[in-house]
Structure formats: structure tokens, C-alpha cells
Amino acid sequence: MIMYKYICIIFFSFGFVNAQGLVSGTVYGDNPDNPLPGASVYWFDSQIGTVSDIDGYFSIQKLASTDKLIISYVGYKTDTLTVRGAQRITHVLQSKENEDLDEVVVSQRKKSSQLSFLSTQNIMNVSSDELLKAACCNLSESFETNPAIDVNFDNAITGVKQVQMMGLPSPYLLFTEENIPFVRGASQVYGLSFTPGTWVESLQITKGAGSVINGYESMTGQINAELKKPMTSERLFLNLFRSFEGRNELNFHTKGSFSEKLTTSLFAHYNEIVERNDSNADGFMDMPQSQQINVLSRIQYVDLQKGWVSFFNLRFLHDDKLLGQVDFDPKAHKNTSSVWGSEINTKRYESTLKIGYVFPQLPYQSFGAQFAYSDHDQQSYFGLRPYDIRHKSSYANLLFNSILSNTSQKFKVGLQFASDQYSETVEGTQLNHKDQSIGTFFEYSYDSLEKFNMVLGLRFDYHNNIGAFVTPRAHIRYAFSDASTVRFSMGSGRRVAAVFAENQKLFTSGRSINVPNLQHHHFGLLPERAWNYGVSYLRSLQIDTVPINLNIDLFRTEFVNQVVVDWETLGQVSFYNLSGNSFANSVQLGMDARLFRLIDTRLAYKYYDVQTDYKTGRMQKPLQPKHRYFFNAGYVGDKWRMDATYQFTGKQRIPSTLLDPNGFESDPFGLINTQLTYLPKPNLELYIGAENLNDFRQDNPIQSFDQPFSSFFDSSLVYAPVYGQMMYIGMRYSL
């Protein structure tokens, strides 16, 4: 720890001393609201030069041989400045509008979802336009048109959709909201449905271990959701949604300004499912009756002259679900064995504060602070099985950014604290435990802006239940050309499994629960630890007038220890520490193409080899297909938008059931989703769509549905949709 302290001091001092000989600034075009990325900045009669970044910012070492600094950009007049000594420059280039040139307009529609050729990490950026291609009522439904994420039904009763990456379930992903962890512990199962899709401005999907800045828990990747900012969001937004199966939704956004520096916005969301549908006639509702109220208030403060930016969020959610047999009445049937039913009532409070400061004289140097608190209270029962959980979470992250000698070499150093306090009642047994950790991290990045980039990170954490440990991570990018990039990544991750909160579908069955020691802290289960390795290749080419991007992703996750969730024994679900090997190999081949300059198409094939050593031997992970195919096509015009997605899912291994004691393989199937949007005015959208257009559904998704209180009853073995075709209509209006 002492050595780490001195290393940080040396790096900081070295970067600060060398920064004193720098000339830095920002280049704008025509006015200060138009920063110019890629502007050339160089010293007269020398080979020393640089280019501005995406925000128009540049820095260059001061030369003693000349004081003439030249700034140029295509389409603008070249300027020569006299610079004496290190200083900060703000310069506006003037366009060549007075020169006798014929006007040439070059335009290109930006893709709503794209992989970057320049970023060191394997990141897919998803804009709000992509989210509008589907119903996208909440974040769990935002990935239907994205091949990087797999969406599965968690069970046949609750209607919850779970996301997976690289063949592993969501607990091995790090979910963040504006880079603050937000789907963890008690919210792991239902948390994605607590963020309405209309609130989301963009998504960043990262494959691989991720950055040490966001913590040590990420194992397969990270999904970050950026919410709409008060200063840039609509003054008024209204979304109305109605499905023919009885799902209604209302989203209302508005904002107001107290001053040029202070803006506030209010997001209100309401949804309900009022019908009790039973399309497969098994006596159980296909989807639960539900009602959710969700309110978010945001305040944004910006003072660019002094370098301050801050956000404050306050949020409240109330979500009620009623599920089970169609005839279930909680007033008459609760705590009885006459009719099987369930209620899940959740209240959640959240508050977050983000503060950022950019040093006015050193714009490459900044400080940031993040604070978050949440209180999640779920009261529920499943038939005769009560389950309650209260989860209080606190989080703080302090971050400092600067450079080492020049802006090609940057570093980030920080301090992080996290606390999770759980109070659970599992079938009448009270369980309490607390997880607390404090850690520090250092991340170095080198960006040549051309061929080679790398990000090297190291964390040191102390956890009250894990002890002290180190988390290394590395990402490397090499560009063979502007159209060909390869990336390598590796890193480790650790986490303490919240076994009951993350596996609530076990309560929708009659299975008995086996854990090593129910009363022991974390039930006698060791923390999970895994290594992730990956290589990706991205290639751009053009055939005739058709631009094409090809990508290949190869990743492997190896567990040093894992909490094995064993569904292999009929009538039981067991949790135990890994004894042997557990790994997940994933291969993804993808192609994006724009046809006729109008239609964006996306093809993908995914192969998963996910195996674990169970007590009964090594087997492929259940309910995990080895093969998946994906196709999406979208058209965007002035008045019309059309989108269609086809997903094919291969065979899946199903654990033992009453009818098949040795288990069986499911049939492969395909699903079609589509949506059509009409824009009669620029601020008005009318849309109609269908999910599961081909009306495919799983036969008998609930095992022993006629004996819901027996040990053979099980709704967890779901490999396909429970309900069939779902049609919907809606309207979006904005000012």
C-alpha cells in the first residue's frame, strides 16, 4: 500500500511538472458552439504537430525555436498565431464562405447502433433512435434489436425478462446508470424493468472485464445507461402505449430553467396490466397483473467558465404484481393451498449526486465525485413460500484525471467505497448480512490517435467478507489501417452472490432449497472469482456502393470459484461452491450493411460453449442454446420508419422433469418482431408493432401445473415465450 502511494505521487508530480511546457486550447468553427474535431495544430517550419480531439481540444509541447502556431481545418481559413510561453488558447476559425467555390453538400445518416473503430475497449454505442425500434417500455426490453445481448424469459409466471452476455446470466454483468452501479442485489431480477425506455438517452455495451474505475464486480461486460439530461432534453414529452393484451403505459417528461446555469427536469412513468390472459389454458396467467408508478427528478448545474458541472437525482418507485392461477384472489386464497398465487410489492427510493470540476487553466485535468444511496424494500410470497428482502446500498467514488507529459498519456486515480446491507426472510427464516468494501484504483491510458491504444488498470480493495485482493485489467487496440482494427482484453472480477435475491424463480416452484449452511454468513458460500479473456476484430469495406462492417468476437470466461446453481435433481435446487472447472466460451460473427443508402441491416451468429462441473458431472449449462442467429433490417425516411427483427434460438438442454427424469432437448425456434412508425409532423410519431409475430410459444411451460403445491410443480424451465403474439399501438409527442 505504501509503495502504491509513492507510485501515485511520482506519476502525479511527473505529469504536473511536464504540463507546464504545454500550449493547450480548443478550436471552434465560426462560433464557440461548434468545436472542430481533427483540426491540425502544428509549429511553423517544424515536424511537431497534433490534432484536436472530439471536443476540439488540443495540447502541444512549446518549442523554443519558434512562436508561430498554425491551426488549419478543411473548409476553414488557416490561421497563424503568435504564442509566447505556455498558455491556454481559445480560437475560432472562419469558414471560406467568401471564396468562389461551388457548394458541395455531403451528408450521411448516423447509425443508431455502432461499434467504434477508435475506442480501446470493445464498446457498442446505442442511441435513443435504436431504442425506438421496439416497444422498449423498459430497459429489459431495450435489447431485442441488439445482437450483443441475449434476452430470455426468467420463468413462466412472473413475466420477467433476463439479459445475458457471452452465455452467462446478468449477475456477471455490471449494470450502471450514468456510471453508478444500479442493478445489484435485491434489484437484480426486476431492476431492469424499473428504468423506462423513454428516459434513456443512450446505452454503452462493453464486452470484456471493463474498467477498474467502475469496480471489481464486472466479469463478462458492462451496460451503462445514460439518462436524458435536463439541459438537452425535450421541454415536453408524452408517450402513450397500449397493447391489445391489456398493457397500458404513460410517460411524461418536462423541464424548466431557473437560470442559464441551473436546469431541472421531471420524468413520470405509469404502467399497468389489467387483463388475466391464459392463452395456453393451463390455468395460470400468462403475464401478471401489475401496476407501477415511477418518478424521477433531476437537477443539472453547469458553469463552464468556472469549470463546474453537477447532477442531482431523486427517485421513487412503487411496483405491485399479482400472479399465479387465473382464479387467484389474495383476500380469499392467500396462505391457503386451494389456489396458487403470489404478490410482489416493491418500494424503492434512490438519490444520486455527481460533481465534476475541470481546472480552467489545465483543461486536461479534472476531478469528479459520485455519491449514491438506495433503499429497496420487497415484500412477497409465492404460494405458501414467503420471501421478503430489504436492501440498503451506499456508494461513493472520488476520481482525479490528468496527463503524463502530453495528452496522449493520461491517468485516472481514485478512491471508492461501497456498502450493502441485506435483511431477508426466506420461508420464515430471518437472515441478515452486510458487505462493505473500500478500494483505490489507478488506470493508465495511451492513445496515439492512429495505430496503437492501450488502457492498463489496477485496483486494490479490502472487503469485510473477502479480505484484501487485487484486480488487474488490460485493454489493447491496434489498427492495421483506418478500416481494420483488432482488440485484446483480459481481466479478473469478484463478487459476493446474493443467492436468493438473484434466483427468485426458485420460489415459483415446489423445489426444496439446499445450501451449505443457511445461518452462516453468505450461507457458507465463497465469493465468486473469474478471469475473462477476449480478442475482437473489426473490418470496414465497401462493395460497389454498399458500406459493410464485419466483426468477430472471441471471449472466454474461466471461474476460479463459482456459486453453482444446480437444477439437475428433480424437486431440488442446490447452491454449492465449485469443485472442478466452469467456463464459458463465446464466438460472435457479425455484419452490418447499408443497402440502397436507405436500409440498415445487421446479421449475427453466436456460438456458446458453457460448461460446469456439477456434483453429477460436467454438463452444458441448462436453458442455454449453443447456437443463435440474428437478423435486423430498418428503414428511416422523412415520414416513415420501419423495423423488423428475426431471432433463431437453437436446441437447449432441459434438466430432469417428472415426465423426463433424464432431461431432454428443446426444439429450436424463431421469433419475429416488427414495428412501423409514421411521422405526420416532426414532433409527432404514431407507431404500431408486434412482438412474436409468428405466434410461437412453449408447450406446457409449467411442470405439474395441475398440482401447484406439490414438489414437482416448476415454472422455471422456460426456454421460449409463454404467451404468443403481442400487438401494440402508441404515440410520441415532443416539444
- Integer CA distances (angstroms), 557 to 95, 124, 510, 722, in order: 52, 20, 32, 31
Determine the Cα–Cα distance for residues 49 and 47; give it in Å rounded to an integer: 6
pLDDT tier for residue 31 given thresholds of 50, 70 and 90: low
Taking a C-beta distance cutoff of 8 angstroms, is the pair 463, 130 a contact?
no
What band does 73 get if pLDDT is binned at 50, 70 and 90?
Answer: confident
3-state secondary structure 490-516: EEEEEECCCHHHHCHHHHHECCEEECC
pLDDT of 701: 92
pLDDT at 106: 45
Give pLDDT tens digits for 518-562. Answer: 767 778 899 999 999 999 999 999 888 888 999 999 999 999 999
Provide the pLDDT for residue 658: 80
Q: What is the mean pLDDT of residues 64-89?
A: 80
Q: Is residue 36's pLDDT more than 60?
A: yes
Residue 637 has pLDDT above 70, yes or no: yes
Q: What is 176-227 written as a DSSP string?
A: EETTEE-S-GGGTTTGGGGSBGGGEEEEEEEESS--GGG-S--SSEEEEEEE
User: Residue 450: CB partners within 8 Å, gap ≥ 6?
Assistant: 479
Share of residues in the chain with pLDDT > 70 (%): 93
Among residues 114, 250, 122, 230, the alpha carbon closest in space to that of 178 is found at 230
What pLDDT sits at residue 107? 45
End-to-end, the C-alpha distance of the chain in Å comes to 54
User: Which domains does the chain carry?
Assistant: 2-93 (2.60.40.1120), 115-225 (2.170.130.10), 226-734 (2.40.170.20)
- pLDDT tens column, 677-707: 999 998 999 999 999 999 999 988 999 999 9
User: Quick one: pLDDT at residue 161?
Assistant: 86
pLDDT at 109: 54
- pLDDT at residue 32 in the model: 65
Residues 6+ away with beta carbon under 8 Å from 187:
194, 348, 374, 376, 391
How does residue 75 score in pLDDT terms, banded at 50, 70 and 90? confident
Residues 573-621 pLDDT 10s: 999 999 999 999 999 999 999 888 789 999 999 999 999 999 999 999 9
Please indicate whether residue 139 or residue 585 has the higher confidence score (pLDDT): 585
Residue 724 pLDDT:
87
In three-state secondary structure terms, 610 is strand
Say if residue 262's pLDDT is above 90. yes
Q: Is the pLDDT of residue 475 over 60?
A: yes
Query: And the C-alpha cell for 710?
Result: 406439490
Q: In angstroms, rounded to a whole number, what is the distance separating the alpha carbons of residues 296 and 282?
A: 39
CA distance 552 to 563: 30
Q: Is the dihedral of CA 160, 164, 168, 173 positive or negative?
A: negative
**pLDDT band at residue 111 using 50, 70 and 90 as cut-offs:** low
pLDDT at 15 over 50: no
Residue type, 88: R
Nearest Cα to 463, choosing from 494, 442, 499? 494
pLDDT at 133: 76
Question: Average pLDDT for residues 425-450, to the nearest whole number?
Answer: 90
Q: What is the mean pLDDT of residues 493-520?
A: 90
pLDDT at 136 > cutoff 80: no
Nearest to 567 by CA among 640, 506, 520: 506
Residues in the chain: 735
Residue 12 has pLDDT above 90, yes or no: no
**Mean pLDDT, residues 708-715:** 93
Q: What is the pLDDT of residue 132?
A: 78
Cell 481540444 sits at which residue? 57
Residue scoring higher pLDDT (438 or 520): 438
Asked if residue 362 has pLDDT above 90, the reply is no
- Residue 375 CA to its chain's centroid (Å): 21
Tell me how far apart the alpha carbons of residues 83 and 424 are, in angstroms, rounded to a whole number: 66
Q: What pLDDT, on the 0 to 100 scale, is given for residue 449?
A: 64
Q: How confident is the model at residue 1 (pLDDT cuts 50, 70, 90)?
A: very low
For range 228-257, the mean pLDDT? 93
Q: What percent of the chain shows pLDDT beyond 90?
A: 66
Average pLDDT across the chain, whole number: 89
